């Protein structure tokens, strides 16, 4: 197998209550520092960005970007946490990003779309519909200014193998949103990663079937966890969580470290 590298970029984050992760967690009421992550997959046939982090405007004017939703948490992004600046630390310019896959279109995952106008974009068709006509309970966390750009979308209906070699495969994991997807990256014949995104916030969610606070469909989310478990067993995969509170102990953070 040809070499593949995966870079995990820390793009700042936000401070919110532990109840976001699990309304029944014993630490409910405690404020926690929630990271934002996005990922670069370097495949011999092209560079794939999985999610794009928060928009740089969140650093200087979160209320102007998010409206009243900004009252629910404290954004901790700083200058240089955005996707363009982080990629530059590994020598990657926006024009060198061939593909951008979005797990979903919430503000902390889709904020950098406009900075990659030459890339091909991938999202589940159901997610694009959901983002443009969100239910009232998720309306504040979809920001049209993030995703209403003239970029080339490939609208997916299910699993999609980006390079037709089984190495970089998007697969639906609805539950958090109607069209959420995660990414399987096979590093070699014996090891793989699953970039979970928000299919689950923490390992605890999957291990204990503990539903988080922001859910479109509990049943779909539990089904998605079952699929993630199955793929983890099949490919000996490590699960990487975008908002893992223990990321400083567990995540290989770019550009100093990577997965290969």
User: Using one digit for the tens of pLDDT, what is the confidence trace for 126-180?
Assistant: 999 999 999 999 999 999 999 999 999 999 999 999 999 999 999 999 999 999 9
Q: Looking at the 3D structure of the chain, how many domains does it have? A: 1
Show the domain range for 143. Answer: 5-250
Q: What is the structure's pLDDT at 235?
A: 96
Residue 258 lies in a domain: no
CB 159 within 8 A of CB 170: yes
Residue 121 lies in a domain: yes
What pTM was computed for the model? 0.97
Residue 128 lies in a domain: yes
CB 73 within 8 A of CB 65: no
CB 65 within 8 A of CB 143: yes
* Contacts (Cβ under 8 Å, ≥6 apart) of 227: 171, 173
Residue 142 lies in a domain: yes
CB 170 within 8 A of CB 176: no
- Which position has the token pair 């106008």? 117
Residue 255 lies in a domain: no
Residue 74 lies in a domain: yes
Q: What is the structure's pLDDT at 189?
A: 87
What tens-digit pLDDT sequence spans the chain (260 residues)? Answer: 679 999 999 999 999 999 999 999 999 999 999 999 999 999 999 999 999 999 999 999 999 999 988 888 899 999 999 999 999 999 999 999 999 999 999 999 999 999 999 999 999 999 999 999 999 999 999 999 999 999 999 999 999 999 999 999 999 999 999 999 999 999 998 999 999 999 999 999 999 999 999 999 999 999 999 999 999 999 999 999 999 999 999 999 999 999 99
Q: What is the structure's pLDDT at 1?
A: 67
Q: What is the structure's pLDDT at 71?
A: 86
Residue 206 lies in a domain: yes
* Contacts (Cβ under 8 Å, ≥6 apart) of 50: 38, 39, 40, 41, 100, 101, 103, 183, 195, 197
Closest CA to 212 of 180, 167, 164: 180
CB 236 within 8 A of CB 191: yes
Residue 256 lies in a domain: no
User: What's the CATH number where 48 sits?
Assistant: 3.60.15.10
């Amino acid at each position: 197998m040809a070499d593949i590298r995966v870079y995990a970029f820390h793009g700042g984050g936000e401070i919110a209550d532990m109840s976001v992760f699990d309304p029944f967690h014993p630490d409910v009421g405690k404020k926690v520092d929630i990271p934002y992550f996005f990922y670069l997959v370097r495949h011999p046939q092209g560079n794939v960005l999985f999610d794009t982090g928060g928009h740089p405007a969140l650093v200087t004017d979160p209320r102007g970007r998010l409206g009243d939703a900004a009252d629910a948490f404290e954004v901790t992004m700083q200058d240089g946490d955005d996707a363009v600046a982080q990629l530059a630390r590994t020598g990657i310019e926006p024009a060198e990003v061939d593909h951008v896959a979005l797990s979903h279109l919430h503000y902390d995952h889709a904020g950098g779309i406009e900075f990659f106008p030459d890339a091909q974009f991938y999202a589940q068709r159901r997610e694009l519909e959901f983002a443009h006509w969100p239910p009232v309970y998720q309306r504040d966390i979809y920001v049209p200014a993030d995703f209403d750009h003239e970029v080339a979308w490939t609208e997916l209906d299910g699993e999609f193998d980006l390079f037709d070699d089984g190495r970089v495969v998007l697969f639906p994991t609805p539950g958090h949103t109607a069209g959420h997807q995660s990414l399987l990256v096979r590093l070699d014949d014996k090891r793989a990663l699953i970039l979970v995104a928000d299919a689950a916030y923490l390992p605890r969610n999957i291990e204990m079937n503990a539903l988080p606070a922001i859910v479109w469909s509990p049943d779909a989310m539990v089904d998605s966890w079952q699929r993630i478990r199955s793929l983890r067993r099949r490919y000996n995969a490590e699960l990487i969580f975008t908002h893992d509170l223990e990321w400083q102990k567990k995540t290989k953070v770019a550009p100093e470290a990577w997965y290969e």
